[in-house]
Structure 1
């Protein structure tokens, strides 16, 4: 079976012109969708898991790159999903590939978050020595690379991991003028506040005079009302 051709045929058959236009309007960035709801895209990606199982990691990554390179929104989302399949076989060297994929193929927040929350987050959790490399993304001129630095730690942060790195990344992005980067590191702080509420609250108070209100609101969203009121006070 030609997996890529089959996936494309299925997406084309599921295409809905109304949903296609709705997707185009949903993103501020230019997107190229088939017009398939995300839930259905995820189901389709999962349907092909048995066909991925016998493949070596490099073969799976080759398929992912073919999907990414198309620029089609739904194909990119399936590539994000498939890239997590060989996670047991990840090595630290995969970071360079994933970094390149963010550079070349991430063009909106949905692809950024789907890929980085899971694939990149899983890799740096397995190899914490990569965290300094992730931090370097905070100075990149690519807005998606900077957002990726934060959202790659969403799942680890929620588990209480890498708090020092969370704070370093948030500090590096603190005055970023891009609202999607602000939302990204605010989200990271919000998830870190679940296991480390007081530490994150103290961080917010220490930096609230320079932290954009967008990031601040995200960061305190899951805190008690009194904390939220204190953080938002002028």
Structure 2
């Protein structure tokens, strides 16, 4: 019987950059023992490259990645060991804390080095990477100049106020979110100034731990969407849906859900909204609801009513507010439809949702619904 042909495997290497240095570990007990390597490992079946990078880095060092983006690749043939890998490099920034040796049977130590002073011998993927003349100067954050400009605008007093307003304390919905203290009008000015920013720069901003950077990224994305052709808009929507974990506060959702996702779906099938409305992620459910604002403005309210009905039992106050808000907007276009919805669901509706929904109704009708709910 003929042996199965050997096939290359996929490896993922994580180039962790901090303060102009990269993280390297000294390999043990495997091919390349005694050489210096980046964190990384095998890409598992069904796993995304980004997920693999996050998993391997955490398993090997205990570090978590704040921002990452794709880098170069190398074709690595280990002649002596008869092994063949294609190594996909991911560039990671925004890590905090000290790396730990989590797998001492595989790695002797983790240390930070300047690119020009990396120790030898190198693990083969690094050797091949250097043959491409790659350096971390090539990996500079594409949003670095924008980030520096934002940092110069920072206001500590305003940041403190925003952190209180957006509920960033322990156990609150935006726990740990960081603010520079830049007001929205100034962010919109920055978005106009940097309208030509690349998608790589937008992604870097959107994956930032800083709230204003994420909001600026969305303003830039909205501007790009509005000027794009249908294929370009579809690509932006795919990008938006792939990054919802970073669209993680009500202001970020409310500025972008209808202007990007809702605008795209206005003349298309809307099944994605019914998937999002079932999400465990609070912000994805809010995205589904607020996206319908674009439909309401076009005189279409059926999806608003249906999605609101599916959120009647939602546990989150921010969802009650969003659903009530969209019902109120729908009622401006068709008060009879809103009244019919309320007649059917008023007893089931969370009180906050009801109050938002009836805000623009004539006073006698508004009071009647409140009385029924009491």
Alignment map for 1:7-86 (pairs within 5 Å) = 7-28=146-167, 29-30=174-175, 31-49=177-195, 51-52=196-197, 59=198, 61-86=199-224
**Distance (whole Å) between structure 1 residues aligned to residue 191 and residue 277 of structure 2:** 31
Secondary structure at 1:36's aligned position in 2?
A: coil
Q: Measure how far apart 1:16 and its partner are.
A: 0.5
The residue number in structure 1 matching 2:240 is 98
More moved, 87-96 vs 111-120? 87-96
Residues 158, 181 of structure 2: 8 Å contact kept: yes
Secondary structure at 2:253's aligned position in 1?
A: helix
Residues 190, 221 of structure 1: 8 Å contact kept: yes
**Distance (whole Å) between structure 2 residues aligned to residue 94 and residue 81 of structure 1:** 13
Secondary structure at 1:226's aligned position in 2?
A: helix
The residue number in structure 2 matching 1:122 is 263
* Counterpart selection for 2:254 from 113, 120, 129: 113
**Distance (whole Å) between structure 2 residues aligned to residue 3 and residue 192 of structure 1:** 41
Equivalenced residue count is 221
Secondary structure at 1:211's aligned position in 2?
A: coil
Q: Measure how far apart 1:6 and its partner are.
A: 2.3
For residues 70 and 41 of structure 1, do their structure 2 counterparts lie closer, same or farther at Cα, with a shift above 3 Å needed?
same
**Distance (whole Å) between structure 1 residues aligned to residue 327 and residue 342 of structure 2:** 9
Residues 279, 285 of structure 2: 8 Å contact kept: yes
RMSD (CA atoms):
1.8
**Distance (whole Å) between structure 1 residues aligned to residue 236 and residue 146 of structure 2:** 25
Q: Which has the higher contact order (CA 8 A, sep 6+)?
A: 1
Secondary structure at 2:182's aligned position in 1?
A: coil
Q: Measure how far apart 1:156 and its partner are.
A: 2.4
In the TM superposition, structure 1's runs of 4+ consecutive aligned residues that sit over 4 Å from their partners are none
2:342 pairs with 1:204: yes
**Distance (whole Å) between structure 2 residues aligned to residue 75 and residue 123 of structure 1:** 24
CA deviation string 1:60-89 (max 9, x = no partner): x33321111112111111111111223232
Q: Measure how far apart 1:5 and its partner are.
A: 2.1
The residue number in structure 1 matching 2:313 is 175
**Distance (whole Å) between structure 2 residues aligned to residue 15 and residue 107 of structure 1:** 21
**Distance (whole Å) between structure 2 residues aligned to residue 22 and residue 111 of structure 1:** 17
**Distance (whole Å) between structure 2 residues aligned to residue 23 and residue 188 of structure 1:** 25
Q: TM-score, normalised by structure 1?
A: 0.87
Secondary structure at 1:7's aligned position in 2?
A: helix
**Distance (whole Å) between structure 1 residues aligned to residue 209 and residue 334 of structure 2:** 38
For residues 78 and 128 of structure 1, do their structure 2 counterparts lie closer, same or farther at Cα, with a shift above 3 Å needed?
same
Residues 159, 195 of structure 1: 8 Å contact kept: no
**Distance (whole Å) between structure 1 residues aligned to residue 146 and residue 365 of structure 2:** 48
Secondary structure at 1:223's aligned position in 2?
A: coil
More strand by share: 2
